[in-house]
């Protein structure tokens, strides 16, 4: 696709030779107010070079650009050169790209580069609750965005399947466990045991010591501990996969913390050999005081490993195994300090690739009645949220279409209900904290997933009414773009043109909400175009142009929703 900004920069560079084309491209702005043009070039930086007032420089540049066929008009307003593009040219450029759905918004900039993305990572034998939805949905969307840009992306689920908590869980099972209850409902049963352990441990502190010894045995090859732990792991993964299937999320690797247990002695020895390991109150640490960071804890006083030990081994494995370009961790902002410590230790170990490790933080989820707490059993299961969303969607569809086919209702209810939950998670900046409210998550009005999905279905409906012959002709892009110069059509065209740049921006910032907001804008712009103009008119040339724009809008919405992991139904 022709890069309009680049083309404008070329033309300005011919008039302002003291700035490079790249510098000019960085300075060019898109005005908030459309009355100020499609693009604007501020001339402040040229004042010192030309020893003239910026408005005079802007006037000279505007006059020289005015005759260019790329522009409808060029105006000088104070120190700015405001450029109004030729609408038909822009429409032609946007349609040529957007009509090719398979490639629209995609590129090969990442070709030959591998990105490892670590996301979701629930704890074995604990609930897959609403607090996990952010890492799961954000991580999946970041994967899809980078995949669309040509990167080889490895999706890894670094399961929390190790640590003292398993000593507690095994200990609780030995005291109060029932195999039949666990097999029937693994997660809720194990959660009840885990909750009971903390209640009982307050009465009998000896239980904590028993749990520590149990984990020590697990880490050092205790047969019975390993058997129970493996059973819990297999049951948990079966439960997790049911939820992943509901959301259409897959992984390339389930590399839980336990996978790296054999590598940890080597990591500890490496830290010793490099003079980084120090003893502190019986524990082993890496002192980071010089970098204004707390010490990184490597092993406890009883010799058992900690998160940092396992994560150092994980990072080394990923570099050796995948030779990553970026190693991305989608983990809550509460862990920001920890990741600074982890990356600093990798750097001190002499790994130049430590700079390629990226923490992508996100805000926390709280319940209206307080913070989520697994220990206290105060959780909302993610599967329950998704099921409730589907049920509510089905009620709404049946209310509006009582005669609709039952099978199609079930399918659409699943796509729209689960899509609503996932879209809601990706509609605001990932760093924001929020309170989980059923009414808000399942609200289908306003700037929501169902609204965008409905717009996609509306586009599909228009195309069905237009007929296969008209759609086939419009799909070629050989249409009269003079019919697409009205305000509503042109607003939509500009948003379609910007879409590929938006996808790249979302990748650069690890921020799916940039895509979410843009496809909301596209949906709103299409609905305005739909209401303001007649699409299926008698005039064949006008109809084909407007059908082509409908196809392009449908493609943009479908591809944008796909980057969010949300389905785009043709009927609703």
Catalytic residue numbers read 126, 129, 132
Burial of 180 (C-beta count, 10 Å sphere; 0-12/13-18/19+):
exposed
Question: Could you write out the DSSP letters of every residue in 342-398?
Answer: HHHHHHHTT-GGGGGEEEE----EEETTEE-BTTTTB--BHHHHHHHHHHHHHHHHH
- Beta strands (DSSP E) in 190-306 are 277-280, 283-286, 296-299
DSSP 444: -
**β-bridge mates for residue 326, sequence order:** 115
Which residues make Cβ contacts (< 8 Å) with residue 81, sequence separation at least 6? 12, 40, 41, 43, 58, 61, 62, 65, 74, 75
- Phi and psi for 121 in degrees, rounded to 5? 45, 55
| DSSP-based three-state secondary structure for 81 | strand
User: Distance between CA 527 and CA 549 in Å, rounded?
Assistant: 12
Which residues make Cβ contacts (< 8 Å) with residue 465, sequence separation at least 6? 536
Angstrom distances, CA of residue 547 to CA of 247, 249, 462, 550: 32, 33, 8, 5
The four Cα atoms 422, 423, 424, 425 give a dihedral, to 10 degrees, of 60
Length of the chain: 572
Residue 134 and residue 365 in contact, taking contact as beta carbons nearer than 8 Å? yes
| DSSP-based three-state secondary structure for 115 | strand
User: Distance between CA 123 and CA 352 in Å, rounded?
Assistant: 31
The four Cα atoms 7, 10, 16, 20 give a dihedral, to 10 degrees, of 120
Burial of 389 (C-beta count, 10 Å sphere; 0-12/13-18/19+):
buried
The contacts found for 386-392 with CB under 8 angstroms, 24 or more apart, are 386/243, 386/246, 386/247, 386/417, 386/418, 386/421, 388/438, 388/442, 389/417, 389/418, 389/420, 389/421, 389/441, 389/442, 390/414, 390/417, 390/418, 391/417, 392/417, 392/442
Report CA Rg, the chain. 28
Angstrom distances, CA of residue 143 to CA of 42, 146, 327, 531, 562: 37, 5, 12, 36, 11
User: Distance between CA 59 and CA 57 in Å, rounded?
Assistant: 5
Residue 266 and residue 317 in contact, taking contact as beta carbons nearer than 8 Å? no
| Cα–Cα nearest to 189, from 247, 125, 129, 131 | 125
């Amino acid at each position: 696709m022709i890069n309009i900004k680049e083309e404008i920069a070329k033309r300005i560079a011919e008039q302002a030779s003291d700035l490079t084309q790249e510098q000019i491209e960085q300075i060019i702005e898109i005005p908030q107010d459309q009355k100020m043009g499609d693009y604007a070039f501020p001339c402040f930086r040229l004042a010192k070079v030309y020893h003239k007032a910026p408005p005079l420089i802007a006037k000279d540049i505007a006059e020289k650009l005015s005759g260019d066929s790329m522009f409808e008009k060029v105006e000088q307003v104070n120190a700015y050169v405001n450029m109004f593009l030729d609408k038909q040219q822009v429409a032609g450029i946007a349609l040529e790209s957007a009509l090719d759905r398979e490639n629209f918004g995609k590129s090969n900039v990442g070709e030959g580069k591998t990105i490892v993305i670590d996301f979701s990572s629930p704890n074995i034998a604990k609930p897959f609750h609403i607090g996990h939805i952010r890492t799961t949905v954000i991580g999946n969307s970041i994967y899809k965005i980078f995949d669309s840009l040509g990167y080889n992306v490895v999706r890894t689920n670094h399961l929390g399947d190790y640590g003292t908590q398993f000593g507690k869980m095994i200990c609780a099972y030995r005291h109060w466990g029932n195999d039949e209850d666990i097999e029937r409902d693994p997660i809720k049963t194990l959660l009840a045991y885990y909750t009971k352990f903390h209640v009982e441990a307050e009465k009998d502190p000896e239980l904590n010591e028993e749990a520590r010894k149990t984990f020590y045995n697990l880490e050092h090859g205790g047969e019975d501990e390993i058997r129970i732990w493996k059973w819990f792991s297999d049951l948990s993964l079966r439960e997790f996969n049911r939820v992943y299937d509901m959301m259409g999320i897959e992984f390339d690797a389930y590399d839980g913390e336990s996978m790296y247990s054999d590598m940890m002695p080597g990591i500890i020895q490496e830290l010793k050999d490099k003079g980084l390991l120090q003893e502190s109150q019986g524990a082993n640490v890496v002192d980071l005081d010089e970098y204004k960071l707390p010490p990184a804890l490597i092993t406890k006083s009883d010799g058992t490993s900690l998160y940092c030990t396992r994560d150092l081994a994980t990072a080394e494995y990923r570099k050796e195994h995948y030779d990553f370009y970026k190693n991305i961790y989608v983990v809550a902002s509460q862990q920001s300090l920890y990741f600074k410590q982890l990356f600093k230790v990798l750097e001190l170990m002499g790994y130049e690739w430590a700079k390629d490790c990226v923490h992508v933080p996100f805000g926390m989820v709280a319940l209206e009645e307080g913070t989520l707490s697994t220990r206290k059993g105060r959780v909302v299961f993610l599967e329950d949220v998704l099921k409730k969303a589907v049920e509510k969607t089905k009620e709404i569809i049946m209310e509006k279409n009582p005669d609709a086919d039952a099978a199609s209702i079930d399918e659409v209810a699943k796509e729209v209900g689960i899509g609503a939950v996932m879209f809601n998670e990706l509609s605001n900046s990932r760093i924001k904290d929020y309170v989980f409210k059923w009414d808000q998550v399942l609200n289908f009005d306003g700037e929501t997933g169902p609204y965008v999905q409905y717009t996609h279905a509306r586009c599909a409906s228009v195309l069905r009414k237009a007929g296969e012959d008209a759609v086939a002709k419009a799909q070629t892009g050989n249409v009269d773009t003079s019919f697409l110069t009205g305000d509503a059509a042109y607003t939509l065209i500009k948003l379609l043109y910007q879409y590929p740049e938006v996808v790249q921006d979302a990748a650069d910032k690890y921020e799916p909400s940039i895509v979410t907001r843009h496809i909301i804008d596209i949906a709103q712009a299409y609905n305005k175009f739909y209401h303001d103009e007649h699409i299926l008119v008698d005039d064949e040339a006008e109809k084909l142009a407007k059908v082509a724009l409908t196809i392009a809008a449908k493609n943009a919405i479908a591809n944008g929703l796909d980057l969010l992991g949300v389905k785009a139904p043709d009927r609703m």
